[in-house]
Structure 1
Protein backbone atom coordinates (compact mmCIF):
# COMPACT_ATOMS: atom_id res chain seq x y z
CA UNK A 1 0.00 0.00 0.00
CA UNK A 2 2.75 2.47 0.90
CA UNK A 3 4.32 2.12 -2.56
CA UNK A 4 1.07 3.13 -4.23
CA UNK A 5 0.73 6.12 -1.91
CA UNK A 6 4.25 7.27 -2.68
CA UNK A 7 3.70 6.93 -6.43
CA UNK A 8 0.39 8.78 -6.36
CA UNK A 9 1.84 11.49 -4.14
CA UNK A 10 4.91 11.86 -6.40
CA UNK A 11 2.77 12.20 -9.53
CA UNK A 12 0.40 14.63 -7.82
CA UNK A 13 3.21 16.87 -6.58
CA UNK A 14 4.95 16.95 -9.96
CA UNK A 15 1.73 17.90 -11.71
CA UNK A 16 0.94 20.49 -9.03
CA UNK A 17 4.42 22.05 -9.16
CA UNK A 18 4.35 22.15 -12.96
CA UNK A 19 0.91 23.75 -13.03
CA UNK A 20 1.79 26.48 -10.54
CA UNK A 21 5.41 27.04 -11.61
CA UNK A 22 7.02 25.74 -8.41
CA UNK A 23 6.46 28.72 -6.10
CA UNK A 24 7.38 28.59 -2.39
CA UNK A 25 3.77 28.05 -1.38
CA UNK A 26 3.46 25.12 -3.75
CA UNK A 27 6.47 23.42 -2.22
CA UNK A 28 5.15 24.14 1.28
CA UNK A 29 1.79 22.68 0.33
CA UNK A 30 3.47 19.49 -0.98
CA UNK A 31 5.53 19.22 2.22
CA UNK A 32 2.43 19.52 4.37
CA UNK A 33 0.61 16.95 2.24
CA UNK A 34 3.52 14.54 2.60
CA UNK A 35 3.55 15.07 6.37
CA UNK A 36 -0.17 14.37 6.54
CA UNK A 37 0.25 11.11 4.62
CA UNK A 38 3.04 9.98 6.98
CA UNK A 39 0.91 10.74 10.06
CA UNK A 40 -2.04 8.94 8.49
CA UNK A 41 0.17 5.94 7.73
CA UNK A 42 1.48 5.91 11.29
CA UNK A 43 -1.94 5.74 12.92
CA UNK A 44 -3.86 3.58 10.43
CA UNK A 45 -2.42 0.09 10.79
CA UNK A 46 -4.61 -1.17 7.97
CA UNK A 47 -2.66 0.87 5.40
CA UNK A 48 0.50 -1.15 5.93
CA UNK A 49 2.47 2.06 5.41
CA UNK A 50 5.45 1.11 7.60
CA UNK A 51 4.62 -2.48 8.57
CA UNK A 52 2.66 -5.17 6.76
CA UNK A 53 0.14 -6.33 9.36
CA UNK A 54 -2.44 -9.09 9.41
CA UNK A 55 -5.76 -7.22 9.43
CA UNK A 56 -8.21 -9.88 8.25
CA UNK A 57 -8.43 -13.44 7.01
CA UNK A 58 -9.12 -14.21 3.38
CA UNK A 59 -12.03 -16.61 3.59
CA UNK A 60 -15.30 -17.39 1.85
CA UNK A 61 -17.09 -18.48 4.99
CA UNK A 62 -18.69 -16.42 7.77
CA UNK A 63 -15.98 -16.44 10.40
CA UNK A 64 -14.41 -13.71 12.55
CA UNK A 65 -11.65 -13.38 15.12
CA UNK A 66 -12.24 -12.00 18.60
CA UNK A 67 -9.10 -10.27 19.87
CA UNK A 68 -8.61 -8.63 23.26
CA UNK A 69 -5.91 -6.10 24.12
CA UNK A 70 -4.31 -4.75 27.30
CA UNK A 71 -4.91 -7.64 29.67
CA UNK A 72 -4.86 -9.62 31.75
CA UNK A 73 -6.96 -7.54 34.14
CA UNK A 74 -9.40 -8.06 36.98
CA UNK A 75 -12.13 -8.42 34.34
CA UNK A 76 -10.39 -11.07 32.22
CA UNK A 77 -11.71 -14.08 34.20
CA UNK A 78 -15.29 -13.04 33.37
CA UNK A 79 -14.38 -12.87 29.69
CA UNK A 80 -12.78 -16.31 29.93
CA UNK A 81 -15.86 -17.74 31.67
CA UNK A 82 -18.10 -16.41 28.90
CA UNK A 83 -15.86 -17.70 26.13
CA UNK A 84 -15.66 -21.10 27.82
CA UNK A 85 -19.44 -21.28 28.19
CA UNK A 86 -19.78 -20.66 24.44
CA UNK A 87 -16.87 -22.93 23.47
CA UNK A 88 -15.06 -20.06 21.73
CA UNK A 89 -11.33 -19.47 21.44
CA UNK A 90 -10.02 -15.92 21.18
CA UNK A 91 -6.69 -14.13 20.84
CA UNK A 92 -5.31 -12.10 23.76
CA UNK A 93 -2.59 -9.51 23.22
CA UNK A 94 -1.09 -9.21 26.68
CA UNK A 95 0.97 -6.50 28.35
CA UNK A 96 4.00 -7.70 30.31
CA UNK A 97 3.24 -5.55 33.36
CA UNK A 98 -0.30 -6.91 33.47
CA UNK A 99 0.94 -10.49 33.28
CA UNK A 100 3.12 -9.79 36.32
CA UNK A 101 0.08 -8.39 38.10
CA UNK A 102 -2.26 -11.28 37.19
CA UNK A 103 -0.04 -14.33 36.59
CA UNK A 104 -2.76 -16.88 37.38
CA UNK A 105 -5.10 -15.33 34.83
CA UNK A 106 -2.37 -15.40 32.18
CA UNK A 107 -1.78 -19.07 32.94
CA UNK A 108 -5.50 -19.71 32.62
CA UNK A 109 -5.58 -18.06 29.17
CA UNK A 110 -2.88 -20.50 28.09
CA UNK A 111 -4.46 -23.57 29.71
CA UNK A 112 -7.83 -22.90 28.07
CA UNK A 113 -6.30 -22.91 24.61
CA UNK A 114 -6.53 -19.28 23.59
CA UNK A 115 -3.95 -17.70 21.31
CA UNK A 116 -1.63 -15.12 22.86
CA UNK A 117 0.30 -12.22 21.39
CA UNK A 118 2.85 -9.72 22.66
CA UNK A 119 1.54 -6.20 23.37
CA UNK A 120 4.82 -4.79 24.81
CA UNK A 121 5.85 -4.71 28.43
CA UNK A 122 4.46 -1.32 29.47
CA UNK A 123 2.14 -0.15 26.65
CA UNK A 124 3.78 3.27 26.92
CA UNK A 125 1.84 6.36 25.86
CA UNK A 126 5.11 7.42 24.21
CA UNK A 127 5.23 4.35 21.97
CA UNK A 128 5.27 6.38 18.76
CA UNK A 129 8.33 8.33 19.95
CA UNK A 130 10.49 5.48 21.29
CA UNK A 131 13.78 4.52 19.68
CA UNK A 132 14.27 1.19 17.92
CA UNK A 133 16.35 -0.13 20.83
CA UNK A 134 13.68 0.88 23.35
CA UNK A 135 10.94 -0.78 21.29
CA UNK A 136 13.01 -3.96 21.06
CA UNK A 137 13.44 -3.82 24.85
CA UNK A 138 9.66 -3.43 25.30
CA UNK A 139 8.94 -6.45 23.11
CA UNK A 140 11.68 -8.67 24.50
CA UNK A 141 10.85 -7.81 28.12
CA UNK A 142 7.25 -8.88 27.52
CA UNK A 143 8.52 -12.08 25.91
CA UNK A 144 10.61 -12.71 29.01
CA UNK A 145 7.64 -12.27 31.35
CA UNK A 146 5.54 -14.65 29.22
CA UNK A 147 8.27 -17.27 29.30
CA UNK A 148 8.83 -16.93 33.04
CA UNK A 149 5.13 -16.87 33.98
CA UNK A 150 3.64 -19.33 31.53
CA UNK A 151 6.58 -21.06 29.82
CA UNK A 152 5.08 -19.58 26.67
CA UNK A 153 6.50 -18.08 23.48
CA UNK A 154 4.70 -16.18 20.73
CA UNK A 155 5.67 -14.64 17.42
CA UNK A 156 2.52 -12.50 17.30
CA UNK A 157 2.73 -8.80 18.13
CA UNK A 158 0.16 -6.03 18.16
CA UNK A 159 1.48 -2.45 18.23
CA UNK A 160 0.01 -0.39 21.09
CA UNK A 161 -2.64 2.00 19.73
CA UNK A 162 -1.99 0.49 16.30
CA UNK A 163 0.86 2.98 15.87
CA UNK A 164 3.68 2.10 13.48
CA UNK A 165 6.74 3.98 12.26
CA UNK A 166 10.26 3.13 11.00
CA UNK A 167 11.57 2.44 14.53
CA UNK A 168 8.69 0.11 15.34
CA UNK A 169 9.05 -1.60 11.97
CA UNK A 170 12.73 -2.29 12.68
CA UNK A 171 11.92 -3.58 16.17
CA UNK A 172 9.27 -5.96 14.81
CA UNK A 173 11.72 -7.25 12.22
CA UNK A 174 14.61 -7.68 14.66
CA UNK A 175 12.47 -9.56 17.19
CA UNK A 176 11.00 -11.84 14.51
CA UNK A 177 7.40 -10.88 15.20
CA UNK A 178 4.35 -10.86 12.97
CA UNK A 179 2.34 -7.66 13.31
CA UNK A 180 -1.39 -8.14 13.84
CA UNK A 181 -3.91 -5.34 13.32
CA UNK A 182 -7.67 -5.38 12.79
CA UNK A 183 -10.35 -4.24 10.38
CA UNK A 184 -13.14 -3.79 12.95
CA UNK A 185 -12.26 -1.38 15.74
CA UNK A 186 -14.78 -1.21 18.57
CA UNK A 187 -13.44 1.98 20.20
CA UNK A 188 -14.59 0.42 23.47
CA UNK A 189 -11.97 2.30 25.51
CA UNK A 190 -13.28 5.73 24.51
CA UNK A 191 -17.00 5.10 23.92
CA UNK A 192 -19.21 4.90 26.99
CA UNK A 193 -22.44 3.71 25.36
CA UNK A 194 -22.45 -0.11 25.26
CA UNK A 195 -25.13 -0.21 22.57
CA UNK A 196 -23.14 2.14 20.38
CA UNK A 197 -20.06 -0.09 20.69
CA UNK A 198 -22.10 -3.18 19.90
CA UNK A 199 -23.73 -1.60 16.85
CA UNK A 200 -20.38 -0.38 15.53
CA UNK A 201 -18.88 -3.87 15.71
CA UNK A 202 -21.90 -5.72 14.36
CA UNK A 203 -22.28 -3.28 11.46
CA UNK A 204 -18.61 -3.54 10.51
CA UNK A 205 -18.37 -7.33 10.35
CA UNK A 206 -17.32 -9.05 7.14
CA UNK A 207 -16.13 -12.56 6.35
CA UNK A 208 -12.71 -12.92 7.95
CA UNK A 209 -12.90 -9.80 10.11
CA UNK A 210 -10.49 -9.31 13.01
CA UNK A 211 -12.30 -7.48 15.83
CA UNK A 212 -10.42 -5.27 18.29
CA UNK A 213 -11.82 -5.35 21.83
CA UNK A 214 -10.30 -4.90 25.30
CA UNK A 215 -10.73 -7.21 28.29
CA UNK A 216 -10.48 -4.22 30.60
CA UNK A 217 -14.02 -3.29 31.64
CA UNK A 218 -17.49 -4.49 32.56
CA UNK A 219 -18.74 -2.40 29.67
CA UNK A 220 -16.90 -4.44 27.05
CA UNK A 221 -17.92 -7.65 28.79
CA UNK A 222 -21.56 -6.67 28.31
CA UNK A 223 -20.86 -5.86 24.66
CA UNK A 224 -19.31 -9.29 24.24
CA UNK A 225 -22.40 -10.98 25.70
CA UNK A 226 -24.57 -9.36 23.04
CA UNK A 227 -22.00 -9.86 20.31
CA UNK A 228 -21.85 -13.62 20.90
CA UNK A 229 -25.62 -13.80 20.60
CA UNK A 230 -25.38 -11.88 17.32
CA UNK A 231 -22.64 -14.16 15.96
CA UNK A 232 -24.67 -17.26 16.77
CA UNK A 233 -27.82 -15.81 15.25
CA UNK A 234 -26.01 -14.78 12.06
CA UNK A 235 -24.20 -18.15 11.92
CA UNK A 236 -20.67 -16.77 12.29
CA UNK A 237 -17.94 -19.11 13.47
CA UNK A 238 -14.71 -17.84 15.06
CA UNK A 239 -11.00 -18.31 14.45
CA UNK A 240 -7.87 -17.30 16.32
CA UNK A 241 -4.77 -15.54 14.98
CA UNK A 242 -2.32 -18.39 14.52
Structure 2
Protein backbone atom coordinates (compact mmCIF):
# COMPACT_ATOMS: atom_id res chain seq x y z
CA UNK A 1 0.00 0.00 0.00
CA UNK A 2 1.35 3.44 -0.96
CA UNK A 3 1.38 5.57 2.17
CA UNK A 4 3.39 8.54 3.38
CA UNK A 5 5.36 6.31 5.76
CA UNK A 6 6.21 3.68 3.13
CA UNK A 7 7.18 6.26 0.51
CA UNK A 8 9.35 8.17 2.99
CA UNK A 9 11.19 5.01 4.04
CA UNK A 10 11.74 4.04 0.41
CA UNK A 11 13.22 7.40 -0.60
CA UNK A 12 15.36 7.68 2.54
CA UNK A 13 16.77 4.23 1.77
CA UNK A 14 17.34 5.23 -1.87
CA UNK A 15 19.17 8.42 -0.90
CA UNK A 16 21.33 6.57 1.62
CA UNK A 17 22.17 3.96 -0.99
CA UNK A 18 23.21 6.65 -3.47
CA UNK A 19 25.27 8.35 -0.79
CA UNK A 20 27.12 5.11 -0.03
CA UNK A 21 27.69 4.40 -3.70
CA UNK A 22 28.98 7.94 -4.10
CA UNK A 23 31.74 7.16 -1.61
CA UNK A 24 33.17 4.58 -4.01
CA UNK A 25 32.19 6.01 -7.37
CA UNK A 26 31.21 9.63 -7.97
CA UNK A 27 27.52 9.99 -8.80
CA UNK A 28 26.26 13.11 -10.51
CA UNK A 29 24.40 15.38 -8.10
CA UNK A 30 21.46 15.52 -10.52
CA UNK A 31 20.50 11.99 -9.45
CA UNK A 32 20.02 13.25 -5.91
CA UNK A 33 17.99 16.19 -7.20
CA UNK A 34 15.77 13.95 -9.35
CA UNK A 35 15.08 11.59 -6.45
CA UNK A 36 14.21 14.45 -4.10
CA UNK A 37 11.93 16.02 -6.73
CA UNK A 38 10.20 12.66 -7.28
CA UNK A 39 9.70 12.34 -3.51
CA UNK A 40 8.19 15.83 -3.31
CA UNK A 41 5.95 15.12 -6.30
CA UNK A 42 4.55 11.90 -4.85
CA UNK A 43 3.96 13.62 -1.50
CA UNK A 44 2.11 16.47 -3.21
CA UNK A 45 -0.08 14.11 -5.23
CA UNK A 46 -0.87 11.88 -2.24
CA UNK A 47 -1.69 14.85 -0.02
CA UNK A 48 -3.98 16.50 -2.57
CA UNK A 49 -5.93 13.34 -3.47
CA UNK A 50 -8.08 12.38 -0.49
CA UNK A 51 -8.99 8.98 -1.96
CA UNK A 52 -5.31 7.95 -2.02
CA UNK A 53 -5.35 7.25 1.74
CA UNK A 54 -1.79 8.53 1.65
CA UNK A 55 -1.81 10.11 5.11
CA UNK A 56 -5.13 8.97 6.58
CA UNK A 57 -7.86 6.49 5.78
CA UNK A 58 -10.70 8.31 4.03
CA UNK A 59 -14.14 6.88 3.25
CA UNK A 60 -14.88 8.15 -0.27
CA UNK A 61 -17.58 5.73 -1.41
CA UNK A 62 -18.88 2.21 -0.83
CA UNK A 63 -17.46 0.06 -3.65
CA UNK A 64 -19.40 -2.96 -2.39
CA UNK A 65 -22.79 -1.29 -2.81
CA UNK A 66 -24.66 -2.89 -5.73
CA UNK A 67 -28.01 -1.18 -5.31
CA UNK A 68 -28.66 2.27 -6.73
CA UNK A 69 -27.88 4.16 -3.55
CA UNK A 70 -25.96 7.41 -3.32
CA UNK A 71 -25.17 9.96 -0.60
CA UNK A 72 -25.19 13.76 -0.79
CA UNK A 73 -22.79 15.98 1.15
CA UNK A 74 -22.49 19.76 1.38
CA UNK A 75 -19.41 21.72 2.40
CA UNK A 76 -18.64 25.19 3.78
CA UNK A 77 -21.98 26.13 5.36
CA UNK A 78 -24.11 27.02 7.06
CA UNK A 79 -24.99 30.03 4.91
CA UNK A 80 -28.11 31.80 3.70
CA UNK A 81 -28.16 29.37 0.75
CA UNK A 82 -28.42 26.42 3.13
CA UNK A 83 -32.08 27.29 3.64
CA UNK A 84 -32.72 26.94 -0.10
CA UNK A 85 -30.84 23.64 -0.15
CA UNK A 86 -33.03 22.38 2.69
CA UNK A 87 -36.19 23.28 0.77
CA UNK A 88 -35.04 21.28 -2.24
CA UNK A 89 -33.98 18.30 -0.13
CA UNK A 90 -37.36 18.32 1.62
CA UNK A 91 -39.18 18.47 -1.70
CA UNK A 92 -37.47 15.26 -2.83
CA UNK A 93 -37.44 13.63 0.61
CA UNK A 94 -33.65 13.39 0.55
CA UNK A 95 -31.25 13.47 3.48
CA UNK A 96 -27.72 14.84 3.38
CA UNK A 97 -24.63 15.45 5.47
CA UNK A 98 -23.50 19.04 6.00
CA UNK A 99 -19.80 19.55 6.74
CA UNK A 100 -19.84 22.84 8.60
CA UNK A 101 -17.21 25.51 9.17
CA UNK A 102 -17.09 26.55 12.81
CA UNK A 103 -17.06 30.31 12.24
CA UNK A 104 -20.13 29.95 9.99
CA UNK A 105 -21.96 28.06 12.72
CA UNK A 106 -21.35 31.07 14.97
CA UNK A 107 -22.79 33.36 12.30
CA UNK A 108 -25.84 31.23 11.42
CA UNK A 109 -26.70 29.06 14.44
CA UNK A 110 -30.41 29.10 13.62
CA UNK A 111 -29.73 27.67 10.16
CA UNK A 112 -27.69 24.80 11.57
CA UNK A 113 -30.51 24.16 14.02
CA UNK A 114 -32.87 23.80 11.07
CA UNK A 115 -30.45 21.40 9.35
CA UNK A 116 -30.48 19.13 12.40
CA UNK A 117 -34.20 19.52 13.05
CA UNK A 118 -34.96 18.33 9.52
CA UNK A 119 -33.05 15.11 10.04
CA UNK A 120 -29.78 15.84 8.27
CA UNK A 121 -26.34 15.02 9.64
CA UNK A 122 -23.65 17.49 10.74
CA UNK A 123 -19.93 17.02 10.27
CA UNK A 124 -16.75 18.93 11.06
CA UNK A 125 -15.06 20.96 8.29
CA UNK A 126 -12.62 22.86 10.56
CA UNK A 127 -13.23 26.14 12.34
CA UNK A 128 -11.58 28.61 9.94
CA UNK A 129 -11.25 26.75 6.62
CA UNK A 130 -8.10 28.84 6.23
CA UNK A 131 -6.13 28.76 2.98
CA UNK A 132 -3.18 27.93 5.21
CA UNK A 133 -4.91 25.07 7.05
CA UNK A 134 -2.65 22.51 5.34
CA UNK A 135 0.38 24.21 6.88
CA UNK A 136 -0.93 24.22 10.46
CA UNK A 137 0.79 22.03 13.00
CA UNK A 138 -1.04 19.17 14.70
CA UNK A 139 -1.79 21.19 17.84
CA UNK A 140 -3.50 23.99 15.94
CA UNK A 141 -5.48 21.55 13.77
CA UNK A 142 -6.60 19.70 16.89
CA UNK A 143 -7.78 22.97 18.43
CA UNK A 144 -9.75 23.84 15.26
CA UNK A 145 -11.46 20.46 15.21
CA UNK A 146 -12.28 20.51 18.90
CA UNK A 147 -13.64 24.07 18.72
CA UNK A 148 -15.91 23.16 15.81
CA UNK A 149 -17.03 19.98 17.58
CA UNK A 150 -18.06 22.04 20.59
CA UNK A 151 -20.18 24.27 18.37
CA UNK A 152 -21.78 21.34 16.53
CA UNK A 153 -22.48 19.38 19.68
CA UNK A 154 -24.67 22.19 21.02
CA UNK A 155 -27.13 21.12 18.30
CA UNK A 156 -26.52 17.36 18.08
CA UNK A 157 -26.03 16.73 21.83
CA UNK A 158 -23.68 13.95 20.70
CA UNK A 159 -19.99 13.65 19.88
CA UNK A 160 -19.14 14.39 16.25
CA UNK A 161 -17.46 11.54 14.37
CA UNK A 162 -17.18 12.83 10.80
CA UNK A 163 -14.52 15.22 9.55
CA UNK A 164 -13.80 16.44 6.03
CA UNK A 165 -10.49 18.27 5.58
CA UNK A 166 -10.63 21.70 3.91
CA UNK A 167 -9.93 21.36 0.18
CA UNK A 168 -9.70 17.59 0.67
CA UNK A 169 -6.01 17.89 1.46
CA UNK A 170 -4.42 15.64 4.09
CA UNK A 171 -1.06 16.04 5.79
CA UNK A 172 1.05 14.37 8.50
CA UNK A 173 -0.18 17.08 10.91
CA UNK A 174 -3.81 16.21 10.16
CA UNK A 175 -3.01 12.55 10.73
CA UNK A 176 -1.51 13.34 14.14
CA UNK A 177 -4.47 15.58 15.05
CA UNK A 178 -6.96 12.85 14.17
CA UNK A 179 -5.20 10.47 16.53
CA UNK A 180 -6.21 12.90 19.29
CA UNK A 181 -9.74 13.73 18.13
CA UNK A 182 -10.72 10.30 16.80
CA UNK A 183 -12.67 11.61 13.78
CA UNK A 184 -13.33 9.47 10.73
CA UNK A 185 -12.44 11.21 7.47
CA UNK A 186 -15.22 11.37 4.90
CA UNK A 187 -14.21 12.07 1.32
CA UNK A 188 -16.09 11.76 -1.96
CA UNK A 189 -15.80 10.17 -5.39
CA UNK A 190 -18.17 12.54 -7.26
CA UNK A 191 -16.82 16.08 -7.10
CA UNK A 192 -18.99 18.82 -8.58
CA UNK A 193 -16.39 21.62 -8.54
CA UNK A 194 -19.26 24.00 -7.78
CA UNK A 195 -16.93 25.83 -5.42
CA UNK A 196 -14.80 26.92 -8.36
CA UNK A 197 -17.31 27.61 -11.13
CA UNK A 198 -20.89 28.85 -11.38
CA UNK A 199 -21.54 27.23 -14.77
CA UNK A 200 -24.64 25.25 -13.79
CA UNK A 201 -24.80 22.98 -16.85
CA UNK A 202 -21.11 22.15 -16.57
CA UNK A 203 -21.48 21.21 -12.91
CA UNK A 204 -24.63 19.16 -13.50
CA UNK A 205 -23.20 17.22 -16.43
CA UNK A 206 -20.01 16.54 -14.50
CA UNK A 207 -21.76 14.86 -11.59
CA UNK A 208 -24.34 13.05 -13.73
CA UNK A 209 -21.56 11.35 -15.69
CA UNK A 210 -19.92 10.13 -12.50
CA UNK A 211 -22.98 8.65 -10.79
CA UNK A 212 -22.65 5.02 -9.73
CA UNK A 213 -23.96 2.86 -6.86
CA UNK A 214 -22.30 3.64 -3.54
CA UNK A 215 -21.10 7.08 -4.59
CA UNK A 216 -20.65 10.17 -2.41
CA UNK A 217 -21.37 13.53 -4.02
CA UNK A 218 -19.61 16.73 -2.96
CA UNK A 219 -21.60 19.95 -3.36
CA UNK A 220 -21.55 23.29 -1.55
CA UNK A 221 -24.43 25.06 0.20
CA UNK A 222 -22.92 28.48 -0.44
CA UNK A 223 -24.30 29.62 -3.80
CA UNK A 224 -27.50 29.90 -5.84
CA UNK A 225 -25.97 27.92 -8.70
CA UNK A 226 -25.50 24.91 -6.40
CA UNK A 227 -29.16 25.05 -5.38
CA UNK A 228 -30.23 24.90 -9.04
CA UNK A 229 -27.82 22.02 -9.72
CA UNK A 230 -29.11 20.14 -6.68
CA UNK A 231 -32.71 20.21 -7.87
CA UNK A 232 -31.81 19.12 -11.41
CA UNK A 233 -29.57 16.39 -10.03
CA UNK A 234 -32.26 15.05 -7.72
CA UNK A 235 -34.64 14.90 -10.66
CA UNK A 236 -32.00 12.95 -12.59
CA UNK A 237 -31.53 10.49 -9.72
CA UNK A 238 -35.28 10.04 -9.41
CA UNK A 239 -35.62 9.36 -13.15
CA UNK A 240 -32.84 6.77 -12.96
CA UNK A 241 -34.24 5.03 -9.87
CA UNK A 242 -31.46 6.10 -7.53
CA UNK A 243 -32.15 6.36 -3.82
CA UNK A 244 -30.48 9.11 -1.79
CA UNK A 245 -29.36 7.70 1.56
CA UNK A 246 -27.37 9.07 4.47
CA UNK A 247 -23.62 8.64 4.84
CA UNK A 248 -24.38 6.51 7.89
CA UNK A 249 -26.43 4.05 5.84
CA UNK A 250 -24.12 4.05 2.84
CA UNK A 251 -20.91 3.46 4.81
CA UNK A 252 -22.33 1.71 7.90
CA UNK A 253 -20.65 4.34 10.09
CA UNK A 254 -22.07 6.42 12.92
CA UNK A 255 -22.08 10.18 12.52
CA UNK A 256 -22.30 10.68 16.29
CA UNK A 257 -21.38 8.96 19.52
CA UNK A 258 -23.45 9.23 22.70
**TM score, norm. by length of structure 1:** 0.91
Task: Confirm whether residue 167 of structure 1 aligns to residue 173 of structure 2.
Answer: yes
Which residue, 19, 22, 30 being the options, matches 1:25? 30
Task: Confirm whether residue 48 of structure 1 aligns to residue 48 of structure 2.
Answer: no
Q: CA deviation at 1:147?
A: 2.3
Q: CA deviation at 1:125?
A: 1.1
- The DSSP-based 3-state class of the residue aligned with 1:2 is coil
Query: Structure 2 matches for 1:1-242, cutoff 5 A?
Result: 1-3=1-3, 6=7, 22-57=27-62, 58-242=64-248
Q: CA deviation at 1:62?
A: 1.2
Contact residue 91 and residue 114 of structure 1 kept, 8 A: yes
Contact residue 53 and residue 178 of structure 1 kept, 8 A: yes
Structure 1: give runs of 5+ residues left out of the alignment. none
Contact residue 3 and residue 53 of structure 2 kept, 8 A: no
Q: Deviations over 1:200-224 (max 9, x none)?
A: 1111112111111000000000111
In angstroms, what is the RMSD of aligned CA positions? Answer: 2.2
Q: CA deviation at 1:153?
A: 2.9
Contact residue 118 and residue 154 of structure 1 kept, 8 A: yes
Contact residue 153 and residue 159 of structure 2 kept, 8 A: yes
- The DSSP-based 3-state class of the residue aligned with 1:182 is coil
Q: How many residues in Structure 1 have an aligned counterpart in Structure 2?
A: 237
**TM score, norm. by length of structure 2:** 0.86
Q: CA deviation at 1:192?
A: 2.3
Structure 1 outlier segments of 4+, above 4 Å: none
Structure 2: give runs of 5+ residues left out of the alignment. 249-258
Q: Deviations over 1:222-242 (max 9, x none)?
A: 111110011011111112222
